[in-house]
Amino acid sequence: DADAEVQMTGFNPPMIPPDAHPDAQVTQLDWDRASGRYTALLSVSADGTDPVTLRISGRALPTTEVVVPVRRIAAGEVLTAADLRLARVRTSLVRQPVALSVAQATGYAAQRSLMQDQPVLIAELERPALVQRRGRVLIELHTPGIDLTAQGIALEGGAAGDHIRVLNPASRAVVDAEIVGDGQVRVVPGTTPVIAAGRQPQGYVP
């Protein structure tokens, strides 16, 4: 593999004149794919010197291109393309699903701190929360001929696309709503509001 990480054990390069143009050839290569270990003969020739043949050995380890942070990422921080880069790591070290492209991790939040130059695990990423539990939200209701907005209180937190319960303080109605933006939810069409504990508002019709 052209992208393999090649290690050479106890290699002492031959001495050649500084102005020579050496030619190196590898022959009799024996490589074990399972362990990555290899042995071979390295023949070096250069003008004005006698050819030298050395036995070399070491390991040739496959690598995989993965996404790594360019800096330490704090827990809860949302990743941008500028925070990430591609790097090659030993395939044997990739034991869990990892991000293989910058786009795959961009826009997600870190569940915990991510270390610089370490593979980004998919399990360490989550969609960023756009609504916080007990936070104020803008409620939207869109039906044929009707477009309404109201202020509400989120009874649950969540990310874009999540369905949460939202309380309308004016009517005390709890509705099922989808998170559509930062602090913004949309009532799911066809759902029936539920009156929260307490006295129903005068004139309320479920």
What are the two backbone dihedrals, phi and then psi, of residue 106, each rounded to the nearest 5 degrees?
-65, 135
Judged by DSSP in three states, 200 sits in coil
Percent of the chain at pLDDT exceeding 90? 54
Judged by DSSP in three states, 82 sits in helix
Convert the pLDDT of each residue in 118-146 to its tens digit.
Answer: 999 999 999 888 898 999 999 998 888 88
Q: What is the mean pLDDT of residues 105-125?
A: 94
Of 42, 108, 36, which Cα lies nearest the Cα of 75? 108
pLDDT over 60 at 203, yes or no: no
Would you state the structure tokens that stand for residue 166, as one six-digit string?
A: 């939202």
Convert the pLDDT of each residue in 27-45 to its tens digit.
Answer: 899 999 888 899 999 999 8
Q: What is the mean pLDDT of residues 75-88?
A: 94
Average pLDDT, the chain: 88
Q: What is the mean pLDDT of residues 108-119?
A: 93
- Give bridge partners of residue 149 from the DSSP assignment: 140
Q: Residue 121 and residue 182: Cα distance in Å, rounded?
A: 26
At 16 the pLDDT is: 83
pLDDT over 70 at 196, yes or no: no
pLDDT over 90 at 18, yes or no: no
Specify the pTM: 0.60
Judge contact between 42 and 26, C-beta under 8 A. Answer: yes
pLDDT over 70 at 197, yes or no: no
Confidence of residue 2 (pLDDT cuts 50, 70, 90): confident
Residue type, 145: G
At 205 the pLDDT is: 37
Judge contact between 167 and 155, C-beta under 8 A. Answer: yes
